[in-house]
Amino acid sequence: MKAGDLKETDFYDSLRDRVFAGIVENLSQNERVLDIGCGDCDLVEYLAKEGSMHLVGLDIDGNKFKHASQNMEREIRPKVKCIKGDAENLKDFKDESFSAVISLYSLHEIVHPLRALKECRRILQRKGEIIVVDLMKNTIAEKLYAEKYFNPEDIKILMANAGFIIIKQKIFSSEGPAITVGYKREKNG
Q: What per-residue confidence (pLDDT) applies to 149?
A: 93
| Structural domains for the chain | 3-184 (3.40.50.150)
Over residues 65-95, the pLDDT tens digits come to 655 555 556 666 677 888 899 999 999 999 9
Q: What per-residue confidence (pLDDT) applies to 189?
A: 46
Neighbours of 73 (CB within 10 A): 10
Q: What per-residue confidence (pLDDT) applies to 1?
A: 43
Looking at the predicted structure, is the pLDDT value of residue 4 above 80? no
Residue 133 CA to chain centroid, in angstroms?
6
Q: Are 181 and 152 in contact (CB under 8 A)?
A: no
pTM of this prediction?
Answer: 0.87
Looking at the predicted structure, is the pLDDT value of residue 3 above 80? no
* Dist. CA 103–CA 173, nearest whole Å: 19
Looking at the predicted structure, is the pLDDT value of residue 134 above 50? yes
Over residues 31-58, the pLDDT tens digits come to 899 999 998 888 988 888 887 678 999 9
- From residue 173, alpha-carbon distances to 40, 106, 130, 178 in Å are 25, 19, 21, 8
